[in-house]
Amino acid sequence: MAAKTKSGEAVHFRGSPDRMTGAVELPTSGPISLAVTLDLPKQGAAPAPFYAQPMDPGVGKESWLRLSLPTTTLPGAYRGTIQVGDQTHVATFEVEPRPYLRMVPGSLLLQGRPGARVAAQLTLVNLGNVVFEVKRVHAFGISELDGLERAFGQTFRAKLPAGERRIDRFADALAEGHGGLVRVQIAKGAGSVAPGDSREVAAVFKLPDRMRSGRAYAGTWPLGHVRYGVQIDTTNGLPSHEDEDEHEDEKE
């Protein structure tokens, strides 16, 4: 438990912007009123919404206060004051990094033949308080949606020849359902996205040649702390960029 605070003593808050916590002693009598001010960059002195969560019931007890600052408040140390009843305390607010990226749409569905290049548009919204860097090149693995279930079925239904282990048959079945590595190139929108900003991104997905037509695959594209879900359908494949180039040559 933090040391009890008296009027004028410093109070320290720490955490991500929307979950700043610190301890302060409530007054022993009278109505309990709370007020907080702090200096934020480009905002000046601003009130911070909060709620108090007493550790024990009753007045005169040490209580945890939780403050909620704008989620894009940059990491760093800020100064301010906190008024608890008739007591005023100098306060420090240590804001920790909080990466928070939102993707629109929430997941991606692609259609294309094995080996094709498929373009897609998405929006990145940086709701955190740190800069997010959109790299130009990415990669992630994919597997058939029903690959695990199929591997179990094939393994336990199979009549194994002498010397073959069932675990080896299972591993082979899983490997068969792995679609390979999808390579992603950011054609537009690469670079830094500041806290509070959004970015329109044009991405080109190079589908693996080892994918099988007529199957559905899924994988997660890692974007910072986000694992963005991507599903690929090869049953109605769209023409690749190379195919489009060939059609243009035929027109000429």
- How does pLDDT run across 177-200, given as a tens digit for each residue? 778 899 999 999 999 999 999 999
| Cα 21 from chain centre | 23
Helix runs in the chain, H state only: 147-157, 166-176, 241-251
C-alpha 232/C-alpha 147 separation (Å) is 14
pTM listed for this prediction:
0.69
Domains and CATH numbers, the chain: 11-95 (2.60.40.10), 101-251 (2.60.40)
Max Cα-Cα span within the chain: 89
Look at residues 93, 44, 100, 34 and name the one whose alpha carbon lies nearest to residue 69. Answer: 93
Report yes or no: 148 and 229 within 8 Å, Cβ to Cβ: no
Average pLDDT over every residue of 234-246: 50
Question: Angle between the 166-176 and 147-157 helix axes, to the nearest 10 degrees?
Answer: 150
pLDDT, one tens digit per residue, over 91-149 is 888 999 999 999 999 999 999 999 999 999 999 999 999 999 999 999 999 988 865 66
Which residue has tokens 């002498």? Answer: 162
> Which residue type does 82 have?
I
Task: Give the CA angle between residues 193, 196, 201 to the nearest 5°.
Answer: 40
C-alpha 191/C-alpha 222 separation (Å) is 16
Report yes or no: 55 and 2 within 8 Å, Cβ to Cβ: no
Q: Which residues of 160-195 are buried (b: 16+ CB within 10 A; e: fewer)?
A: eeeeeeeeebbeebbeebbbbebebebeebbeebeb
Three-state SS string across 165-224, please? Answer: CHHHHHHHHHHHCEEEEEEEEEEECCEEECCCCEEEEEEEEECCCCCCCCCEEEEEEEEC
Tokens representing 123 are 């929006």
Percent of the chain with pLDDT strictly greater than 90? 38
Computed from CA positions of residues 238, 242, 245, 250, in that sequence, does the dihedral angle turn out positive or negative?
negative
pLDDT, one tens digit per residue, over 151-176 is 556 665 767 777 777 676 666 666 67
Report yes or no: 156 and 149 within 8 Å, Cβ to Cβ: no
60 pLDDT more than 60: no
C-alpha 201/C-alpha 179 separation (Å) is 25
Name which residue leads in pLDDT, 188 or 36: 188
Q: 162-166, 212-216, 234-238: which has the minimum mean pLDDT?
A: 234-238
